[in-house]
Amino acid sequence: GEGNGGSGGGGGRVMPSEKLEVGVAVEDITPTLGEKFWNDANDNDYYELGEEFVDTNMNGVFDATWIAGFGGGRPATGVNDPLEARAIALRYKDKTVVICVLDVVGYFIDDMEKIKADPIVAALDVDHIMIGSTHTHEAVDTIGLWGPDPMVSGVNPEYQKLTRDKAALAIKAAVESLKPARMRVAQTKTVDENGSTLAYHNDTRDPIIYDPTLTIAQFIDDADPSKTIATLVNWAAHPEYAGSKNNLLSADYVHWLRDTVENGVASEGIAGLGGKTVFVQGPLGGQVGPGGGVAPIGKDQNPISTAGLPKAEAAGTNVAKLALDALAKTGEDAATSEITLRTKEIYARVDNIGYQFGFQLGVLDRQLFNWDSSMPISETNTPELKSRVTYLQVGPLAMITCPGELHPELWVGGYDGSWSWGQNILNEVENAPDLGMAPAAPYLRDVMLSNPGVKYVFSAGVTEDFIGYVVPAFNYVLDAQNPYFAEAAGDHYEETNSVGPKVEEQIQHPMLELATPPVP
């Protein structure tokens, strides 16, 4: 047998169960808002230096709560829906893992390591904790890039501590609430009857390749199968449906997606699952989101094309309805729930000059490695980031984490147009991708599906770290005059927010290696 840790004395764990155990917890990370009144002279919903503001604490600085996403300098003027840290714990026999996701734009591994080192977390009997972000563009700057000025971090250290403390509490509560569960899984695609995704999301960077797969895993209370403990949902889209004119804090579509999975839509007679829903972001790089004419259908049955909270509400609600429908019609009860875990530390070179400045100025606060900080940065003295990738399998469901925004072609391949959803794969003339130079099969998704017992796969985006876009090497183009600060002609914005040209090799190749089934 598996050891003999009886329940008497010693406080040890009882005999490992042959059943999957699941626990879940939610903690509020909504901030107390900073200063929020300013004279928005040009009515663009951004604060620009020189605009007058109400200086409540009389320190001569506009101490706003800075919203991350779009451009820097967006003050929060209110709260639309709660920002949260949500954690799900999974245990099978002697293996325990936790996935904790925060309603933030991104979260550096340095902050994640502080959470794991928190005494209340360090004391838990857990094999691995994955912390990720929803990547909402309507919440608080937890990275630094969205302050009032490019030279000023938007991070508030007190708020940063609040997010760490609350994440630690959520992780602890999830582990402490573990109980036997059954898993039911379904997948569907966010496409309409014509095979178009444009009522849900889109890809606006060539090559037009993206994965509209929506994955839902329901964890049912084994003692009372009428009750849901937790639900895990994965889908890929930038949570920026509320747009840059919204100054209210929000988890964007993610809020309504979670709420609808839990509570249903009473007016339409749709029942929710109860329990708590944890949303995990997907491979959203290369601009998967609301761009290029996405128009979710609103409550009045009319499409909503204009950015705003109603668009975010419609998108989240409709994706949740598809997930609930798929679960009801095609949900499969997992015969096995064994946990397989593989994880590895990786390093990525920071060639992006903007990022180099950000780290040196302290606008971006994280440790750099493998360079001499007393010497100038050069080709032979370039700092690296330490990061991590993880493969997690629970029975037939397997996921692989990406520490940044993975371009979907590095997940599905799809260079033959099979993942373009009725759209032209190439549209740009300048610096157009040469698909003849694209990587050959097998692609990451196929490699994931080659693992024994695996039937459902997804990639968890912006999880275990936040390092920007993971752009394929064959289509990595920088502006010749002003690399990283200006974008090259055509579809090449993402390069300006990526660590450098080696990002595929240093981030996605380790993901491929980790996804490959080990030789027994």
Question: Tens digits of per-residue pLDDT, 352-385?
Answer: 999 999 999 999 999 999 999 999 999 999 999 9
pLDDT digits (tens, 9 = 90+) for 96-154: 999 999 999 999 999 999 999 999 999 999 999 999 999 999 999 999 999 999 999 99
Which domain covers residue 339, as residue numbers? 20-182+272-280+333-515
Residue 249: inside a domain, yes or no?
no
Residue 406: inside a domain, yes or no?
yes
Q: Reduce the secondary structure of 21-71 to three states and give it as a string.
A: EEEEEEEECCCCCCCCCECCCCCCCCCCCCCCECCCCCCCCCCCCEEECCC
pLDDT digits (tens, 9 = 90+) for 251-281: 999 999 999 999 999 999 999 999 999 999 9
Residue 228: inside a domain, yes or no?
no
Q: Closest by alpha carbon to 141, among 201, 210, 66, 196? A: 66
10 pLDDT exceeds 90? no
pLDDT digits (tens, 9 = 90+) for 420-454: 999 999 999 999 999 999 999 999 999 999 999 99
pLDDT digits (tens, 9 = 90+) for 217-253: 999 999 999 999 999 999 999 999 999 999 999 999 9
Residue 460: inside a domain, yes or no?
yes
Residue 239: inside a domain, yes or no?
no
Residue 376: inside a domain, yes or no?
yes
As for how many domains the chain has, the answer is 1
Residue 358: inside a domain, yes or no?
yes
Cβ–Cβ < 8 Å for 55, 26: no
Residue 449: inside a domain, yes or no?
yes
Query: What span, in angstroms and rounded, lies between the C-alpha atoms of 227 and 218?
Result: 10
- What pairs with residue 400 in β-bridges? 391, 459
- Please give the average per-residue pLDDT across 9-38, as a whole number: 82
